[in-house]
Chain A
Amino acid sequence: MHTKPMIRPVKNSAWHYFLRWLGAGYDKLILWLTSKFFALGLALVLSFPKRYRMSHNNGIAGKGKLRIVDNPQFPEHDFFVPGRVFDARIRHAMATFLDDAMKGIRSCSIKFADTQWESPMDLECNTGEINLFWSAASFLKFAQLRKQQWGVEYEEYYRKYPQGIIGAQKALRKDATSYTNLRYYALTPFLFIGKDQIKRYAKYRVVPFDDIPETGLITHPSDWDTANQRITPHEPRGRNYLKDEFVKRVKEEGAHYRLQIQTRVANDDDNPEIFNNQIPWDEAVFPWHDLAIIDITEPLDWKESTLTSFSLNNMPKTLGIIPAKSIYDYNSLNYMRAHAELARKARLFSYKIKGFPPPIPDDDNRNKSDWDGKY
């Protein structure tokens, strides 16, 4: 009969402090090296030679205004001044395929400025209240096990990591009627140090201005078919139908969104799981509050959309990313995103050298993630 194991006690001698300090330093070094090498790898393999973003190549942008709400219900913050208006851009995109009719994650990136790059704040949001990965380590494994062929990908990842398949089923969208009726989440929390100087954490999401039903949800997901992201047989819609719908809508009536925020006070003994993007914060305890209203009034062309880039480094210090301790830390995901600058620069540099990638044609190269349409 097995006896209950004893839990190894934490030792607090100077030597053990030193060892822990050394271990923590080692973990941070690995995180830094991983992030840098990942960015370098992206730059050398995708961004420069292929002119690719890391994932969301298939996108369209628009511009307009972002106005902080007049009567905020969240803690006061120097940046989110009530009634403050920003020029803004948003970019909707799909990962990773160049075919709007495929099943995939859709995104909404927000820039608090009408520029290609510089901005006081950027946010990157995706569909799904949870996602397919939760840390730098899990993201790297996710990337390693993509193994895409014929529009089917991540099969092995889903088999090994059940949370991945749950995340996929929550985040993937198919047959959405418009980018503007989806819900987008920033998932991993950020810092929020308000006027009261109390340290808090914040999560953001983008929802339609009007509470209209979300489309494209996978209502009866199958574990056996989640990896299949191919278009429906006899799909009548083209490769650009969502982008075309967005352009048409913005031209005719504009696209209107609410940017919302959840905040919670930071405590020393917080459970690390509060940073886990797989575990949404309880809305009853941490309700979503309107942060800003976004009105997009003008679509941007393909070239401008391609040039518009977002970064988590574009944030006020009091709203930045939460420091991460290791590649297994849930906050390492934002840390790694913030360290991907090199890849963005390599992509923009490749545009200068090789020219802009052409818009996605409405042809029969379905279920593809490569520009040239070749498998």
Chain B
Amino acid sequence: MTEEEIEKIVDRAYAETKIRYPYQGGFFSPRLKHINHMEVGRSKIIQSWYNILLEWIYEKWNAFGVRYHTWLKRVFPRRNVLFTGHIDSSLVGQLLFAEPAKDNIPIHNMHLEFWGRTKFYQWRKFGECSSDENGKFRLEFSLIPTQAWIIKSTLHFEIYQTTDILCEKGRMVHKQSLFKTIPIKKSDLIGMEYNLRIIRLFLWQYRPDSTIPRVYIKPDGTDAPEEYPEGRVRAMTEQMIPIELTKVKHLLQIEEDPLSLSIAQIQRDYPKNLTVAIEEKLPGYTRGDDWFGIREMNGMNMSTFQPDATTPGEYWVRYFGACNYEVNDEYAFPTAEIRFRMKPNGLPTPIEIHLTGPLNRFNKDPFQKLVVTSSEGEKWLQAKRVARVTSALCAELDQHLAGTHLNTEQYSIAAHRNIRKNPVITLLMPHVKSVSLIDNTADKLLIQGYIPSATALTAKSTEKRAADLLGFQDWKGWKPMKVLSDAHLYAKAEELYWQVVTEWVDLFFSQHETEIKKEWLEIYRMSEDLVAHSVPLFTETVNWDELSPEELDFTKRRIEYLAAEYRMDLNLPRKKVKGTQKAISPITESTVFREDSDDWQNLKDMCRYVITTATFLHTWVNEHQYEDIGEVLYSCLGLRFGEKETGIMAPESDISIAPDATRSTQMMWFSNLLSRTEYGFILKNEQKDMHPEFMELLNAKKKEFAALKVNVEEIESRTNI
């Protein structure tokens, strides 16, 4: 069969698996109330008719409440008109972040308003101001209008935060939401200054219990600093309910009779994925060397090909497995290093696989090594599967979780905490919103849920690994992956996307240059937050003196490869905070903009990096998951050691090393959840928060992206799943 014929079959399989469920829910269809109600076990979906009915009544009641409040707002509008006269009074105080209380970190540029209501419930505005760089504010107003007999006895000091950026009539406008109201007794106002003293706000607080910069959300999910848009939940409900019901059916069946459910049955019950679809048309192709090379280069893993030091035209792709992280005794997670040779068509073909670490439950030597070559028949097939599984877990944790989700969240927190007046907020916010929410959900579903039960890693080691991986992520010096050949579609697409983002960021910065420079303090504060909360540079965390020769060699290989993978220049001078060198470089060290510095380019580079990471990089790794980990026996996140001495070096037919039925259905559910419920695309612009110029620039490259098998319509605008 020719390459063209194979490609046609693969394209047909692609088309076949790109399904979307048209929503066919009726009144009594099961429904999902909130994304946080998703569980690896049984999600909290509402199924029974009386619960659906009660929920319907509750929703109607809520809707009535919303309509009532909307009506109230219309009847008693808050007009932006000041009731004022001789300014003789002021409200003074200081806004500080609630935690850490000892540090007294000021909240600058918060918008503050002072309102009263008449006895006939009309709103009257008495004054407004913003907090200064020290978080201090002086809201000046005229005393007499506040003391008029018609004004009710309680006045309202209101603190606003920017919760969204929306495009209205071609202009990006800030959507301000009321963050906190402090009631003030009318009788307490007597002229001159009224001191509201220090007001501590739980505003985008860093989690105190995490070494990774994460936002604090209460365990019950309340008090989150942002909310999912309604469309996000709806998209999740529409696509996930059939999948959830399949999982629930499997779990019930397993509860009744675990042996009655085979992996094949589980696979059949879920929508077909790419490898299953190809196998139906071209049996054995997905287990072959060609497909292995294609997926390593252009699949979910988007692997980094490191040239072999001695042989030109040969490359190494390395996936570092358990390393020295805490692991359980059930699952294997060996390191897989794969040697490729570049074919004339520009695609890589594997020629050798080196597996390091335990492959069975008897030999626990972490540096035992097995080298398998492409000529070894069945053993070669097994080694490729082991490498696929290791690479899948690495892609899930290293590229997806750490590389995009947690990486973006640290920028999201720093931006939300510090940028309010600077136009950079309108550039970044549409791309960094919601990530903290989905990361919080991932804590429960992935880090605490699926990973410890279905892979070698524990929750603790997953977090440690994520922190270590973040130690390789920095905006400074980042550049797109080097294109190795014409067939290197991922690298070409990344390069093209980077060009679009660069063009967009340059345009935005030229449009807003004056304002960006004027509000430079916000950039400085964001930079300070980023660096202060950044994890240490990975090399700083290694205790070189305590490493054995094997560990030393392994660690050096790992550092060299990961630095290349994350395109991080380890030799750049980096800032030390409390004696520790941080992974993230500062954008600026100055509170005011300095023309004689690199700060302007630094800020642009940071913005380009964050937008690319939150959109393109995440879209790629996320949407290809169902293709690469949507068939349990082809690849999963963890192979069990089994009872035999051969361990995980066994054929796919040996079910004892595959995930059990529960983990299998959970894995299928998971990969469907992640790849099929996307919402918030740049060009679809569902939330009306995309810059028209950016959309135009991206749309102009539609054909070029299509040639690289990238549909620009499907590039997400943010990391929200």
Residues of A participating in the B interface, judged by any CB pair closer than 8 Å: 1-3, 5-8, 23, 26, 134-135, 137-138, 141, 159-163, 271-273, 276, 278, 326, 328
Contact with A along B191-208 (1 / 0, CB 8 A): 111110100000000000
Say which one of B83-91, B343-351, B447-455, B698-706 lies at the interface with A. B83-91
**Contact call A328/B81, Cβ cutoff below 8 A:** no
**Contact call A328/B192, Cβ cutoff below 8 A:** no
Contact with A along B180-196 (1 / 0, CB 8 A): 00000001101111110
**Contact call A7/B86, Cβ cutoff below 8 A:** no
Partner of A5, one of B82, B188, B192: B82
User: Given that A328-B144, A328-B147 are known contacts, is A138 also in contact with B193, CB under 8 Å in the complex?
Assistant: no
**Contact call A272/B88, Cβ cutoff below 8 A:** yes
Chain B residues near A26 (CB, 8 Å)? 149
How near does chain A come to B183, taking the closest CB pair, in angstroms?
Answer: 14
A-B contact pairs, 5 of them (CB 8 A): A1-B173, A2-B128, A159-B197, A161-B194, A271-B86
**Contact call B192/A278, Cβ cutoff below 8 A:** yes
B444 within 8 Å of A (CB atoms): no
Contact with A along B113-130 (1 / 0, CB 8 A): 000000000000100100
9 additional A-B residue pairs with CB within 8 Å, beyond A8-B82, A8-B84, A328-B190: A1-B174, A2-B111, A7-B82, A134-B192, A135-B190, A141-B187, A159-B197, A272-B86, A328-B144
Chain A residues near B191 (CB, 8 Å)? 134-135, 137-138, 328
| Bound Cα distance from A295 to B663, whole angstroms | 102
Contact with A along B327-365 (1 / 0, CB 8 A): 000000000000000000000000000000000000000
Chain A residues near B194 (CB, 8 Å)? 160-161
Residues of B participating in the A interface, judged by any CB pair closer than 8 Å: 80-84, 86, 88, 92, 111, 125, 128, 143-144, 147-149, 160, 173-174, 176, 187-188, 190-195, 197
| Bound Cα distance from A137 to B195, whole angstroms | 16
Partner of B80, one of A3, A135, A276: A3
**Contact call B190/A6, Cβ cutoff below 8 A:** no
| Bound Cα distance from A23 to B148, whole angstroms | 8
Which residue among B88, B111, B147, B190 has the maximum number of chain A CB atoms within 10 Å of its CB?
A: B190
| Bound Cα distance from A5 to B190, whole angstroms | 24
Residue of chain A at shortest CB distance from B147: A328
| Bound Cα distance from A276 to B87, whole angstroms | 13
User: Given that A6-B81, A7-B82, A272-B86 are known contacts, is A160 also in contact with B144, CB under 8 Å in the complex?
Assistant: no
How near does chain B come to A26, taking the closest CB pair, in angstroms?
Answer: 7
Chain A residues near B125 (CB, 8 Å)? 5
User: Given that A5-B125, A8-B84 are known contacts, is A161 also in contact with B192, CB under 8 Å in the complex?
Assistant: yes
Chain A residues near B86 (CB, 8 Å)? 271-272
| Bound Cα distance from A130 to B190, whole angstroms | 17
Partner of A137, one of B83, B84, B176, B190: B190
Chain B residues near A5 (CB, 8 Å)? 80-82, 125, 128
Chain A residues near B188 (CB, 8 Å)? 141, 160
| Bound Cα distance from A6 to B80, whole angstroms | 6
Chain A residues near B80 (CB, 8 Å)? 2-3, 5-6
| Bound Cα distance from A40 to B193, whole angstroms | 30
Chain B residues near A278 (CB, 8 Å)? 192
How near does chain A come to B147, taking the closest CB pair, in angstroms?
Answer: 6
Residue of chain B at shortest CB distance from A273: B88
**Contact call A8/B81, Cβ cutoff below 8 A:** yes
How near does chain B come to A209, taking the closest CB pair, in angstroms?
Answer: 34
Residue of chain B at shortest CB distance from A272: B86
Chain B residues near A135 (CB, 8 Å)? 190-191
How near does chain B come to A145, taking the closest CB pair, in angstroms?
Answer: 10
Chain A residues near B197 (CB, 8 Å)? 159
Chain A residues near B148 (CB, 8 Å)? 23
Chain A residues near B190 (CB, 8 Å)? 135, 137-138, 141, 161, 328
| Bound Cα distance from A8 to B83, whole angstroms | 6
Chain A residues near B193 (CB, 8 Å)? 161-163
Chain A residues near B128 (CB, 8 Å)? 2, 5
Chain B residues near A272 (CB, 8 Å)? 86, 88
| Bound Cα distance from A160 to B184, whole angstroms | 11
| Bound Cα distance from A6 to B187, whole angstroms | 26
How near does chain A come to B557, taking the closest CB pair, in angstroms?
Answer: 51
| Bound Cα distance from A272 to B187, whole angstroms | 21
| Bound Cα distance from A5 to B83, whole angstroms | 10
| Bound Cα distance from A35 to B193, whole angstroms | 24
How near does chain A come to B651, taking the closest CB pair, in angstroms?
Answer: 63
How near does chain A come to B141, taking the closest CB pair, in angstroms?
Answer: 12
Chain A residues near B144 (CB, 8 Å)? 326, 328
Residue of chain B at shortest CB distance from A137: B190
**Contact call A2/B176, Cβ cutoff below 8 A:** yes
Residue of chain B at shortest CB distance from A158: B195
Top 5 A-B pairs, shortest CB-CB distance? A138-B190, A163-B192, A1-B174, A137-B190, A5-B80
| Bound Cα distance from A196 to B316, whole angstroms | 103
Chain B residues near A160 (CB, 8 Å)? 188, 194-195
How near does chain A come to B429, taking the closest CB pair, in angstroms?
Answer: 13
**Contact call A162/B92, Cβ cutoff below 8 A:** yes
Chain A residues near B82 (CB, 8 Å)? 5-8
Residue of chain B at shortest CB distance from A139: B190
Chain A residues near B160 (CB, 8 Å)? 2
Chain B residues near A6 (CB, 8 Å)? 80-82
Chain A residues near B83 (CB, 8 Å)? 8
How near does chain B come to A150, taking the closest CB pair, in angstroms?
Answer: 24
| Bound Cα distance from A5 to B84, whole angstroms | 11
How near does chain A come to B217, taking the closest CB pair, in angstroms?
Answer: 27
| Bound Cα distance from A26 to B149, whole angstroms | 9
How near does chain A come to B402, taking the closest CB pair, in angstroms?
Answer: 35
How near does chain A come to B680, taking the closest CB pair, in angstroms?
Answer: 22
Chain B residues near A137 (CB, 8 Å)? 190-191
Chain A residues near B176 (CB, 8 Å)? 1-2
Residue of chain B at shortest CB distance from A163: B192
Chain A residues near B81 (CB, 8 Å)? 5-8
| Bound Cα distance from A326 to B83, whole angstroms | 18
| Bound Cα distance from A1 to B81, whole angstroms | 16
Which residue among B84, B143, B191 has the maximum number of chain A CB atoms within 10 Å of its CB?
A: B191
User: Given that A1-B174, A6-B80 are known contacts, is A161 also in contact with B195, CB under 8 Å in the complex?
Assistant: yes
| Bound Cα distance from A13 to B264, whole angstroms | 86
| Bound Cα distance from A276 to B143, whole angstroms | 14
| Bound Cα distance from A137 to B188, whole angstroms | 9
| Bound Cα distance from A162 to B197, whole angstroms | 10
Chain B residues near A159 (CB, 8 Å)? 195, 197
Partner of B143, one of A141, A271, A328: A328
| Bound Cα distance from A138 to B128, whole angstroms | 23
| Bound Cα distance from A134 to B189, whole angstroms | 12
How near does chain B come to A156, taking the closest CB pair, in angstroms?
Answer: 11
Residue of chain A at shortest CB distance from B175: A1
| Bound Cα distance from A138 to B143, whole angstroms | 12
| Bound Cα distance from A186 to B173, whole angstroms | 54
How near does chain A come to B578, taking the closest CB pair, in angstroms?
Answer: 31
How near does chain A come to B339, taking the closest CB pair, in angstroms?
Answer: 56
Chain B residues near A163 (CB, 8 Å)? 192-193
Residue of chain A at shortest CB distance from B146: A328
Chain B residues near A141 (CB, 8 Å)? 187-188, 190
Residue of chain A at shortest CB distance from B188: A160
How near does chain A come to B674, taking the closest CB pair, in angstroms?
Answer: 35
How near does chain B come to A268, taking the closest CB pair, in angstroms?
Answer: 14
| Bound Cα distance from A141 to B144, whole angstroms | 17
Which residue among B83, B173, B195 has the maximum number of chain A CB atoms within 10 Å of its CB?
A: B195
| Bound Cα distance from A160 to B195, whole angstroms | 5
How near does chain A come to B689, taking the closest CB pair, in angstroms?
Answer: 14
How near does chain A come to B156, taking the closest CB pair, in angstroms?
Answer: 15
